[in-house]
Each structure stands twice: as structure tokens, then as C-alpha cells.
Amino acid sequence: MKPSAKTSRNAVAADHGALLRSGAGFIDVRAPVEFAKGALPSAVNLPILNDSERAAVGTRYRQRGQQAAVALGEELVSGDVRATRIEAWAAFAHSHPQCTLYCARGGLRSRIAQAWLAEAGTSVPRVEGGFKSLRQFCLRTIDEAAASLKLIVVGGRTGSGKTAVLAHAPASIDLERLANHRGSAFGEQPSPQPPPVGFENALAVEMLRLSAPGTTVALEDESRQIGRLAVPATLYQAMQAAPIVVIEASLETRVENILTEYVLEAPNPHEHLPASFARIRKRLGGTRHQEIGELLTNALSQGDPDLHRQWIRRLLTDYYDPMYDYQIAAKQDRIVYRGDANAVAGYLGGCVVEVAR
């Protein structure tokens, strides 16, 4: 399993910022168990050793040293197994001509994969320092960008359309999209949230791409926790000091937005809504939780949008609005603009253009 001496195509990619900014793609040759703990948004996991092979090689290394471990790796990944893995790497490289490959620390696994690919006629640079160095770069990027980026926070009551406005801003970071969670008790998505490492890496790439001088980046007004993930401390602190634009929307507009997103267009509201509603029992209080819960149950059983509007209206006025009013009261001195969704979207566009000039 030693790298072949026949190939001179052993290029090393050391500009981590350029690699991450390009989105050209990474071949991650770490084992699936490593990849599952966190990866990069443009990476595909095509391991040189699967989980069981990696465990066996690791055990051999601890018992008998590196040479014996490499010999076992050669034995485990040979013949058709080796050919299949090279074929998968080559296929990705041909569809992503600017891709690079990495292992955990830029050591044997990435060197061997690079050599095997070269022997098969495909040249792919490997990342200097591997995933560890990319991860460290991502963490530095978050801290540095949080200190240097000009941020503006989009606020507004639940259902006011903050996410839609954010999507139309010239430069924005959608933390809820990156976290795969809508940021409330009802925010859980059908697919799981990424691991913290993956969330932070994806965030770093977004921040890196928006780091041009003069850019103002819009983010939604969030609590630090988004589901089970946490906004990095440096970014959250910067958000707490940033100016705020507030979307103002009528109760009926917000009810319709919630109805559309969480009921009419939701994949499985009959399971998702009761489970989400149960999470706020203590905060809502027993009596109100029972009353609104009965409205929700009736609406789900009847399938009537008007019945859904009843429990949504109560939940907004009895729970979300008072909580928002309390939180925004402490931020009044940071509010620089108020308006409906279209007006705020226009303000954000003008704000960014003005700063860029």
C-alpha cells in the first residue's frame, strides 16, 4: 500500500482559502465514521479504507507498528477492491476537474490515493495538512470574518417573512438553511441537522465568499441555539452589536405565512406539528397548551385551513409575540429601519449598494 515511485504527479494544494472559495469539490478519503463527524460542503466521501478496514489497520499499527499496518492495508485494499475505489475517485475527478483530495492530516492515505490515481492516468492534487488543516482554517475564518464583516440583522415577529427577505438580499447568510432547522420549537426538518463541525465549516465557506471589502452581510435575528447547533460565539457576539432592520407584518399576514409553510407545504404535518407543540408545554403553560392543543388536534383531524388558522393565531398572540416583544425591547437602540417585507428588502439592497460605493 506504499505510494508508487513511478509517478511525479504529487501536486500539493496549500491555498486553503482558494480551495474553499472555489467550491470545486473535494475527494475525502477518510473512513465513513470520520466523515460523519463533519466534512466540507463540497466534499464527497470516497474512502480508501472503510470503517472495518480502518479499525483493523489501526489495531495492527498499535500492536506491530507502521510497516505492519501498511502491509495489512495493502492486503485489504487490493485487486477488485482497489480497482473499484480508484474508479470512483477518477469518476469524481473527471466530473470535477479542479477537485483536490485529502485524508485526516495529509498523510499516507491521501498520498497513496493520489499515487494510485496517477498510475491510473488521473492527476489530482492533495490538500496540504489534510482535513485537519482545512478545519483549522475554517475556524480562523469564522473568527476573522466575524470581526471584519459589516453585518445587518433582519428581525421581525414570527411569520413575518424574514427568511424570504433574506434570500433576496444582495449578500446574506441563511443560518437556518446551514443548520437545517428553522430555529424554533417547530423548526425541525425531515432530514437531520449536520454535525457541529459540518455546520461550522459550511458557515466558514459562506463567510469566506462574502469577505470582499465593502460588503454588508444580512443575517436573520437568531438565538444562539438553532436546534441542537450553536452559532459560533464570535459571530453571535457580532450579531448582537449589529444594526437591525425590522419587518412589520399584520397578524393575518403572519398567520397565512405560517399556514403555508408549516401546514399546507409541510411534508408530514400530522406527525411534526403535535411533536413540536409538545416541546413548548412548560413555556406555554398547562391551560393554554391544552386549549391550543385541542384546536391543533381538531384542525389536523378535519384538514380545514380555517381551523388551522385558529390555533396558529392563538400560538402567535399567546406565545411567540410576547416573547418577541420582550426580546426586541432590549434592542431598540440598534433598530435602523422598519417596514413591510418589500420595503425591508429594498432597504437591504440599497444599504449594500451604498456601502459598496
Q: What is the assigned CATH class of domain 149-356?
A: alpha beta
CATH superfamily of 12-136: Rhodanese-like domain (3.40.250.10)
> DSSP letters along 230-274, please?
E--HHHHHHHHHS-EEEE---HHHHHHHHHIIIIIS-S-HHHHHH
Whether the pLDDT of residue 14 is over 90: the answer is no
Arithmetic mean of pLDDT over the chain: 92
C-alpha cell at 216: 454588508
| Dist. CA 213–CA 182, nearest whole Å | 30
pLDDT by residue (tens digit) across 109-122? 999 999 999 999 99
C-alpha cell at 220: 436573520
Distances (CA, A) of 282 to 66, 225, 326: 56, 19, 18
CB atoms inside a 10 Å sphere around CB 241 = 9
Whether the pLDDT of residue 353 is over 60: the answer is no
| Dist. CA 226–CA 313, nearest whole Å | 24
Q: Are 1 and 73 in contact (CB under 8 A)?
A: yes
Smallest CA-to-CA distance from 247 within 342, 156, 346, 332 is with: 156
| Dist. CA 219–CA 237, nearest whole Å | 13
Query: Which residues does 101 contact at the CB level (< 8 Å), separation at least 6?
Result: 26, 27, 28, 29, 89, 110, 113, 114, 117, 124, 125, 126, 127
- Please report the pLDDT score of residue 355 as a whole number: 29
- Please report the pLDDT score of residue 9 as a whole number: 60
Residue at grid coordinates 470574518: 145
pLDDT confidence band for 191 (50 / 70 / 90) = very high
| Dist. CA 157–CA 249, nearest whole Å | 8
- Please report the pLDDT score of residue 321 as a whole number: 96
Read off the pLDDT of each residue in 235-261 and give the average, rounded to a whole number.
Answer: 97
Q: What is the H or E stretch that residue 342 is in?
A: helix 341-356
Q: Domain residues of the chain, as ranges? A: 12-136, 149-356
Q: Please, what is the end-to-end C-alpha distance for the chain in angstroms?
A: 56
Q: Are 239 and 222 in contact (CB under 8 A)?
A: yes
pLDDT by residue (tens digit) across 276-321? 999 999 989 889 999 999 999 999 999 999 999 999 999 999 999 9
For residue 60, the number of C-alpha atoms closer than 13 Å in the C-beta half-sphere is 17
Q: Are 138 and 205 in contact (CB under 8 A)?
A: yes
Sheet of 335-339, strand order: 172-173, 216-220, 150-156, 244-247, 335-339
- Please report the pLDDT score of residue 153 as a whole number: 98
pLDDT confidence band for 261 (50 / 70 / 90) = very high
> DSSP letters along 154-201, please?
EEESTTS-HHHHHHHSSSEE-HHHHHTB-SSTT-B-SSPPPPHHHHHH
Whether the pLDDT of residue 207 is over 70: the answer is yes
Whether the pLDDT of residue 204 is over 70: the answer is yes
pLDDT by residue (tens digit) across 28-55? 999 999 999 999 999 999 999 999 999 9
| Dist. CA 197–CA 51, nearest whole Å | 20
pTM of the complete model:
0.90
Catalytic residues: 103
Strands 225-226 and 229-230: what pairing? antiparallel
